[in-house]
Structure 1
Amino acid sequence: MIYQGACHCGKIGFEVEGEIGELMECNCSICSKRGALMWFLPRDKLRLKTAEADVSTYLFNKRVIEHHFCATCGCAPYGEGTLGGQTMAAVNVRCLENVDLSAYKINHYDGRSL
């Protein structure tokens, strides 16, 4: 399935191909403040539909995850990092169109304690 996504103002548009399985809610300082519900998949399954120049990036803590956001509206639709040697995307499913969040199991991750 292909999902369409964007930041709030639409400056960052993208599509993601795959089947949403379980979602992850992290309690680290950035994820909890953003209210992100993350879906992890290989980075090559996420395709930007807008210019990469429109994507701003924030690094913090161990500086291993690139938290991407829109400098115009502040929305953070996805991030990138490496897991087990594979580049992964962490898509905030709240930024995807027509996704019923109640249909998915949400796993809680204790990122605050790391």
Structure 2
Amino acid sequence: MAGENEVSAVELPITGSCHCGAVTYQLKVRPRFAVECNCSICRSLGTVWGHGEVGDIAVTAKPGATTSYVWGDRQLAFHTCKTCGSTTHWEAVAGDAKGRMAVNLRLARPGTIEAIGHRHFDGADTWSFLD
């Protein structure tokens, strides 16, 4: 049974925020599934992603509220709140994924990931789903 603040069905938009509330997001579409990736950065961040197109996601933050981290093939910019350190989202800045974004569903209401459905992605090796 879902708790008082948990969701049992996906209500749109899906909203979330960093710990201090300086960065918020709205995911306007239901992702096909929540994705937990085992690549080195996602594993280190402990994120579970909800993917969408840039137009499907609205991130609200004052200018300079986040810092971004781009590494490896330099295609994704991971955004983290400068105040509390929560990783809120990534945005594709180059390559085939350009125009795509994802938000950290661990920052949404409890039960959101379970209501969407959770899949594990092997970003460390095979670039395929493990389940």
TM-score, normalised via structure 2 length: 0.76
Distance of 2:54 and 2:108 partners within structure 1 = 16
Give runs of ≥4 in structure 1 deviating > 6 Å.
none
More deviation, 78-87/59-68:
78-87
**Bigger-Rg structure (1/2):** 2
Which residue in the other structure is 2:13 paired with?
2
Q: 1:48 aligns with which of 44, 59, 66?
A: 59
| Larger helix fraction of residues | 1
Q: 1:87 aligns with which of 99, 104, 107?
A: 99
Q: Give the AA of the match of 1:42.
A: E
| Gap runs ≥5 in structure 2 | 1-11, 127-131
Provide closer, same or farther for how the CA distance between residues 79 and 61 of structure 1 changes in structure 2, counting only shifts above 3 A.
Answer: same
CA shift for structure 1 position 86: 4.7
Provide closer, same or farther for how the CA distance between residues 24 and 83 of structure 1 changes in structure 2, counting only shifts above 3 A.
Answer: farther
| Number of aligned residues | 114
Q: Give the AA of the match of 2:27.
A: V
| Larger strand fraction of residues | 1
Is this contact kept in 1: 2:22–2:61, CA < 8 A? yes
Do structure 1's residue 12 and structure 2's residue 23 form an aligned pair? yes
Provide closer, same or farther for how the CA distance between residues 85 and 105 of structure 1 changes in structure 2, counting only shifts above 3 A.
Answer: closer
Q: Secondary structure at the match of 1:112?
A: coil
